[in-house]
A and B are shown apart, each in its own frame.
Chain A
């Protein structure tokens, strides 16, 4: 899990973003539908009444359009909320049969072939088994993802358009079936096939792992409890970050040795449940060193934990030790400690303050630096079983698959198979590779820093050849342009949320490095991400299918 900082799910931010993006999208869709209804009814009235009475045509068109729009919305939400499980089940079983008889399960054969020969190409059997585990685990999880996703992608994108093209759907809609039931049934049908394939692949994959690496059977995964990190500079003043020693990414901040510089972790929810069976609190760290001189070649860089109670100012130092570079350092902390005044103190009662533990990390080697990021020091709770972590990662693959199915089936309600494939493919590629770029672009970060104002202001500057660095003249029209730009910039800022973040579902980074897949920063974000797309996709997909004239020439 190098250079990865798992963030706890932020409910408020997530709901705020979801509300804004969905709200804007629905507002746009509702306005468009309303305008189209009114326009089509008005044109119809003009045709019927004739051009002689435009006011009457306009009035009747507006009235009929509003009525049709209101009816459509009411009927739509009734269809969505009152679906028949029997009919949805019938369509689900139909899609499942269709997929199976179209030989979708052949993907399992490809999977089997991959596993038959995987051992030839993976790592050297003489290598340390613990180093082989990440490679094997990543291989299994990646194989499952890369085999199931294209299969469900094709089934979802082409199923409904093929059904419409072959007109077999026409016979179905002449039965008492709502369009919402067709949409949901199809989503569930493809999901059922995908679930079956993922279940078989994951069980086979796990058994293969156990057979290839018998050590897997006994290993457990770490359950980390992360804290929040702050820094003190070399003079002991609080600062957000430490020193940058030249890393471009600057994932880690560095503190200078033998100065007042500190990295301070604050852990919340610390209680007896986090102690191991010996009654000790286990602190695990993965701290990097940066040497400005060779120093003592016999020893590594020395660092020290100090446990602090900020309320009573009790400070207890733990014995200094060397950093274990490129390896994990595990330190069980005894409950009995000695404070700076040589008084015995108890970790869990005298240091831990209202469930909060503060740990200061200091570098004791003069002229050397220690690099740390938030996830580099954590409390290690009771270990979990590897098998549980592995299947949690599989669950996230399933969620990603489900999201792709929902998206693709919804898109396929309005466009044909090739277009649906293209659109879904673009979304997947952007979701996997383009999120950071989009983030920088819409937030105006880095090299994409916004210059020259918003959309309208920029357009004005382009037309008038005005340099983006020259400020606009103050006046009425400048204010108007800037006021109009504000919501557009807000929309642009949130528009990246329209693309799913597929990185949310990648849990191999946890499992492969021996971590349990966390609930709050792993599973929960993945589940919420899926739900966030499920609801708007189903509503939009339904209205698209509902408004579609299946027999249109």
Chain B
């Protein structure tokens, strides 16, 4: 695999102006970063920090005020770069009068794909995003989650090398959100490069290799997620079936070495993990209820 950056951004700035050309807001200020091949790169930041503006500048939907952008070795204004790119917008901006099959066929026709390949690819993607039952329904009848799924399918229709995802888990239920994150990891395993922007920190933490944090249009942090989150001062031991005597011994050893134990106890699962477990169990054993009567 080539080590040339897939995306190179140099001193990229964007100023929104009014009708008369007067400055309204500087949405992005001298952003410089590289995205390497095969990584999952996250753009993080609060609302209005310039994440989506950056993605739109990469795609040529906006024109930069200053700076340069190179994607897959081509300038952002060159539409031929889009042959190798897939984009999932923040809202799925699709044609609501088309059904899922027609949507994928339409976007497939915009690429150099034969009708047979388009059909095969559309079938695979519809299956993958779980819309097999709704493939003939017009998108205007879809729920938000279903629209996100078909949006993802259209982004992958050309089997892209670079995938740009704007708030990929927005509008999805926890199950769909988990599926999306699994899919991102699967795509990464296939060697795809993924750039996602999100303000859902847990999602970013789950899937991203590197992140850039933007605030008011400026780059504040750029590093590997692991390195950024690792606390060098702390040590964590996770064990199962540890008897109380063993815990006492561990405390004693720690005291002997002058270490301070902050917490010993049973860790809590995340709500996401619990939710997924309940849903999966319900699917396996229909009719069974998991109600803790003592809590009611």
Chain A residues with CB below 8 A from B106, complex form: 90, 93-94
CB A355 to nearest CB in B, in angstroms, measures 55
Chain B residues with CB below 8 A from A176, complex form: 79-83, 110-111
* Interface flag for B95 (CB, 8 Å): yes
* Interface flag for B60 (CB, 8 Å): yes
- Are the C-beta atoms of A549 and B94 separated by less than 8 Å? no
Nearest B residue to A86, CB-CB: B109
- Are the C-beta atoms of A44 and B83 separated by less than 8 Å? no
Interface range for A? 20 to 34
- Are the C-beta atoms of B61 and A177 separated by less than 8 Å? no
- Are the C-beta atoms of B94 and A173 separated by less than 8 Å? no
Chain B residues with CB below 8 A from A93, complex form: 106
Q: Give the complex CA separation of A126 and B145 in angstroms.
A: 67
* Interface flag for B98 (CB, 8 Å): yes
- Contact string, B57-90, partner A, CB cutoff 8 A, digits 1/0? 0011111011000000000000111110101010
Chain B residues with CB below 8 A from A171, complex form: 87, 89, 92-94, 107, 154
- Are the C-beta atoms of A167 and B93 separated by less than 8 Å? yes
Select B65's contact among A44, A101, A178, A551, beta carbons within 8 Å: A44
Chain A residues with CB below 8 A from B66, complex form: 44, 48
* Interface flag for A172 (CB, 8 Å): yes
Q: Give the complex CA separation of A172 and B59 in angstroms.
A: 11
CB B79 to nearest CB in A, in angstroms, measures 5
- Are the C-beta atoms of B60 and A173 separated by less than 8 Å? yes
* Interface flag for B238 (CB, 8 Å): no
Chain A residues with CB below 8 A from B24, complex form: 553
Q: Give the complex CA separation of A86 and B102 in angstroms.
A: 16
Interface centre among B56, B79, B83 (most CB of A within 10 A): B79
- Are the C-beta atoms of B111 and A170 separated by less than 8 Å? no
* Interface flag for A53 (CB, 8 Å): no
* Interface flag for A12 (CB, 8 Å): no
Q: Give the complex CA separation of A549 and B61 in angstroms.
A: 6
- Are the C-beta atoms of B62 and A175 separated by less than 8 Å? no
Interface centre among A90, A173, A174 (most CB of B within 10 A): A174
- Contact of A175 with B107 at beta-carbon distance under 8 Å, contacts A48-B66, A168-B95, A551-B62 already known: yes
CB A61 to nearest CB in B, in angstroms, measures 13
Q: Give the complex CA separation of A174 and B157 in angstroms.
A: 12
- Contact string, B152-184, partner A, CB cutoff 8 A, digits 1/0? 001000100000000000000000000000000
* Interface flag for A98 (CB, 8 Å): yes
Chain A residues with CB below 8 A from B94, complex form: 168, 171
CB B88 to nearest CB in A, in angstroms, measures 9
Select A102's contact among B81, B85, B97, B112, beta carbons within 8 Å: B97
CB A508 to nearest CB in B, in angstroms, measures 36
* Interface flag for A87 (CB, 8 Å): yes
Select B110's contact among A101, A167, A175, A549, beta carbons within 8 Å: A175
Chain A residues with CB below 8 A from B111, complex form: 175-176
- Contact of A173 with B61 at beta-carbon distance under 8 Å, contacts A178-B79, A553-B24 already known: yes
CB B206 to nearest CB in A, in angstroms, measures 26
Nearest A residue to B59, CB-CB: A174
Q: Kindly count the residue-residue contacts between A and B in the assembled complex, taking CB atoms under 8 Å apart.
A: 78
- Contact string, A171-204, partner B, CB cutoff 8 A, digits 1/0? 1111111100000000000000000000000000
Q: Give the complex CA separation of A177 and B93 in angstroms.
A: 16
* Interface flag for A552 (CB, 8 Å): yes
Complex interface residues of chain B between 31 and 62 (CB less than 8 A to chain A): 56, 59-62
* Interface flag for A166 (CB, 8 Å): yes
Select A170's contact among B61, B80, B81, B154, beta carbons within 8 Å: B61
Q: Give the complex CA separation of A170 and B109 in angstroms.
A: 16
The secondary-structure label for the interface of chain A is helix
Chain A residues with CB below 8 A from B102, complex form: 97
- Are the C-beta atoms of A549 and B154 separated by less than 8 Å? no
* Interface flag for B215 (CB, 8 Å): no
Select A90's contact among B79, B92, B96, B109, beta carbons within 8 Å: B109
Chain A residues with CB below 8 A from B96, complex form: 168
Please tell me the number of chain B residues within 8 Å of chain A, measured between CB atoms: 36
- Contact string, A153-175, partner B, CB cutoff 8 A, digits 1/0? 00000000000001110111111
Nearest B residue to A90, CB-CB: B109
* Interface flag for B16 (CB, 8 Å): yes
Chain A residues with CB below 8 A from B107, complex form: 171, 175
* Interface flag for A550 (CB, 8 Å): yes
Q: Give the complex CA separation of A177 and B78 in angstroms.
A: 10
* Interface flag for B91 (CB, 8 Å): yes
Chain A residues with CB below 8 A from B79, complex form: 173, 176-178
Chain A residues with CB below 8 A from B89, complex form: 167, 170-171
Chain A residues with CB below 8 A from B60, complex form: 173
- Contact of A94 with B56 at beta-carbon distance under 8 Å, contacts A175-B110, A176-B80 already known: no
- Are the C-beta atoms of B98 and A552 separated by less than 8 Å? no
CB A182 to nearest CB in B, in angstroms, measures 10
Q: Give the complex CA separation of A176 and B66 in angstroms.
A: 24
Q: Give the complex CA separation of A351 and B154 in angstroms.
A: 76
- Contact of A170 with B82 at beta-carbon distance under 8 Å, contacts A44-B66, A97-B102, A177-B110 already known: no
Q: Give the complex CA separation of A192 and B62 in angstroms.
A: 32
Q: Give the complex CA separation of A44 and B81 in angstroms.
A: 27
Nearest B residue to A87, CB-CB: B110
- Contact of A90 with B110 at beta-carbon distance under 8 Å, contacts A44-B66, A178-B79, A552-B16 already known: yes
Interface centre among A170, A173, A176 (most CB of B within 10 A): A176
Complex interface residues of chain A between 304 and 331 (CB less than 8 A to chain B): none
Complex interface residues of chain A between 65 and 118 (CB less than 8 A to chain B): 86-87, 89-90, 93-94, 97-98, 101-102
Nearest A residue to B81, CB-CB: A176
- Contact of A98 with B95 at beta-carbon distance under 8 Å, contacts A44-B65, A174-B59 already known: yes
- Are the C-beta atoms of B85 and A174 separated by less than 8 Å? yes
- Are the C-beta atoms of A549 and B97 separated by less than 8 Å? no
- Are the C-beta atoms of B56 and A551 separated by less than 8 Å? yes
Nearest A residue to B80, CB-CB: A176
Q: Give the complex CA separation of A551 and B55 in angstroms.
A: 11
Chain A residues with CB below 8 A from B63, complex form: 549
Nearest A residue to B93, CB-CB: A167
Chain A residues with CB below 8 A from B62, complex form: 549, 551-552
In the A-B complex, list the 9 residue pairs whose CB atoms are closest, starting with the nearest: A90-B109, A167-B93, A175-B110, A101-B97, A174-B87, A176-B82, A551-B61, A176-B83, A171-B93
**Contact sample, A vs B, 25 pairs, CB 8 Å cutoff:** A44-B65, A87-B110, A89-B109, A90-B106, A93-B106, A94-B95, A97-B97, A97-B98, A98-B95, A166-B93, A168-B93, A170-B89, A171-B89, A171-B93, A173-B59, A174-B59, A176-B82, A176-B110, A177-B82, A177-B110, A549-B63, A551-B61, A552-B16, A552-B62, A553-B16
Beyond contacts A90-B109, A171-B92: 16 other A-B pairs, Cβ-Cβ < 8 A, are A90-B106, A93-B106, A94-B106, A167-B91, A168-B95, A170-B61, A170-B89, A172-B110, A173-B60, A174-B61, A174-B85, A175-B111, A176-B80, A549-B61, A551-B56, A551-B61
Residues of B in contact with A (beta carbons under 8 Å apart): 16, 24, 56, 59-63, 65-66, 79-83, 85, 87, 89, 91-98, 102, 106-107, 109-112, 138, 154, 158
